Structure 1
Amino acid sequence: MSSNIQYSILLPTYNERQNLPIIVWLINKYLEECGYKYEIIIIDDNSPDGTLEAAKQLQRIYGDDRIVLRPREKKLGLGTAYLHGLQHSRGQFVIIMDSDLSHHPKFIPKFIEKQLATGADVVTGTRYAGDGGVYGWDFRRKLISRGANYLTQVLLRPGVSDLTGSFRLYKRQALEKLVESCVSKGYVFQMEMMVRANSLGYRISEVPISFVDRVYGESKMGAMEIIGFAKGLLYLFATV
């Protein structure tokens, strides 16, 4: 493992051709300013919109040491995307985030500062504490998110205020252990990661973030995801 890479940023993508150049530019801007040594690993699941071609162009611009491409043949779920990215990463710490601009890279230095200050195994972004918030969602979407988060708090007592978010920094060893022990896929995967981190006694810190609904493309949240979330919640309640 290369010791000069401190942070590996995993970006799973599916139909993010329009968003990818912007998110990559922003990540570079904020991490370059702070002087951190990092890599961006793009895990594209065979997007039909040309996301991988856009990623190859970005690699030519920023260099293949900075932009690492690890595409897959089909859509296989978030959990396996992170495992795939993790296997090809070199950083001591791994940052996971969405590639649709809902997670602003300006918060990454705050995650890093929090981890350095606390020694946390996991630093997770929260929309529901401090000055965190959600922007661009209609009332129905906010209600679903709040309701899901409330249910998980009551049933699982995870020790964090935002269980369904997906903007996090992990110590490498902690992420390896958690990904190994998780069985969920899709949106439930993020929830299970926090529940298991808490049950394993990992130190978890939170950073308030602003979540902004995607600018380009369509949301991947639908009725099937909500049903899957409910099933996953009941599974975790029964098993963890």
Structure 2
Amino acid sequence: MVNNNKYTILLPTYNEKDNLPIIIWLIVKYMDEGEYNYEVIVIDDGSPDGTLEVAKDLQKIYGEDKIVLRPREKKLGLGTAYIHGIKHATGNFIIIMDADLSHHPKFIPQLIELQIFKRYDIVSGTRYRGSGGVYGWDFKRKLISRGANFLSQLLLRPNASDLTGSFRLYKKDVLEKLIASCVSKGYVFQMEMLVRARQFNYTIGEIPITFVDRVYGESKLGGNEIIQFAKNLLYLFATT
């Protein structure tokens, strides 16, 4: 089957200068091997560590058609980063993933092939099915993640096994509609996207992925995020 789709990979970054060269190299490797038509949009939120300068160097290496830079002046949140990226996306499919190497680009071809085969609106990477899993987390972090996912499943019934993950492929128009309907910010944003998808009767496929805790830099999940998560979960339960 000839694949005429174009894939836009959105990479929001904040202080990822050490990770960015590796993640870009891996994305290019797997996308080129699969002979996919693609672009990577780097959305840097004013990183003080020089992430944008590294991105400019990578653009010189791989070309401006492959690496597109759409920086912002300061940290404005994940949801708005996606909105910003979509505005500049030329692909009819959007892939969202983390730039910190927790999501391995080797899974991108699996997301793409499942979407082509089943024509799903969304294909999501899951840590909680089949060969999926998490590496590098301590027991407490695993417990929080599992607990959050279990509670979310119980209250929201989203037809997806991994609500808080953020490695997904969307049809562009589907992603635009979902983002427009979402009210959450931060950690809960990914969860709300799949809950809204269920409301709109979008089809969701899943592939097992392994999530590896960030290699360089600091994790962004703290106690405050957990409290916000609980509040937002209850809000979604009451409104969906």
The TM-score, its normalising length taken from structure 2, stands at 0.98
Equivalent pair of 1:5/1:90 in contact (CA under 8 Å): no
1:106 has 2:90 as partner? no
Flag as ranges the 4+ runs of structure 1 deviating above 2 A: none
1:165 has 2:165 as partner? yes
Letter of the 1:14 partner, please give it.
Y
Equivalent pair of 1:160/1:206 in contact (CA under 8 Å): yes
| Residues in 2 aligned to 1:124 and 1:222: alpha-carbon distance in whole angstroms | 24
1:11-30 per-position Cα deviation (integer Å, ceiling 9, x unaligned): 00000000000000000000
Deviation at 1:227, TM superposition (A): 1.0
1:41-64 per-position Cα deviation (integer Å, ceiling 9, x unaligned): 000000011000100100111111
Letter of the 1:156 partner, please give it.
L
Match of 2:17 in 1: 17
Letter of the 1:68 partner, please give it.
V
1:53 has 2:40 as partner? no
Match of 1:140 in 2: 140
Match of 2:32 in 1: 32
| Residues in 1 aligned to 2:36 and 2:88: alpha-carbon distance in whole angstroms | 19
1:111-130 per-position Cα deviation (integer Å, ceiling 9, x unaligned): 00000011000000000001
1:66-96 per-position Cα deviation (integer Å, ceiling 9, x unaligned): 0000111111111000010000000010000
Match of 1:73 in 2: 73
| Residues in 2 aligned to 1:159 and 1:72: alpha-carbon distance in whole angstroms | 35
Match of 1:155 in 2: 155
Equivalent pair of 1:5/1:39 in contact (CA under 8 Å): no
Match of 2:41 in 1: 41
Letter of the 1:162 partner, please give it.
D
The runs of 5 or more residues in structure 2 that have no matched partner are none
1:165-193 per-position Cα deviation (integer Å, ceiling 9, x unaligned): 00000001100100111111111110000
Letter of the 1:45 partner, please give it.
D
| Residues in 1 aligned to 2:73 and 2:238: alpha-carbon distance in whole angstroms | 34
| Residues in 1 aligned to 2:116 and 2:184: alpha-carbon distance in whole angstroms | 30
SS in 2 for 1:43: strand
Match of 2:119 in 1: 119
CA RMSD of aligned residues (A): 0.8
The TM-score, its normalising length taken from structure 1, stands at 0.98
Alignment coverage as a number of residue pairs: 237
Match of 2:198 in 1: 198
| Residues in 2 aligned to 1:8 and 1:28: alpha-carbon distance in whole angstroms | 12
| Residues in 2 aligned to 1:57 and 1:221: alpha-carbon distance in whole angstroms | 30
1:184-236 per-position Cα deviation (integer Å, ceiling 9, x unaligned): 11111100000000111000000000000011111011111111111110110
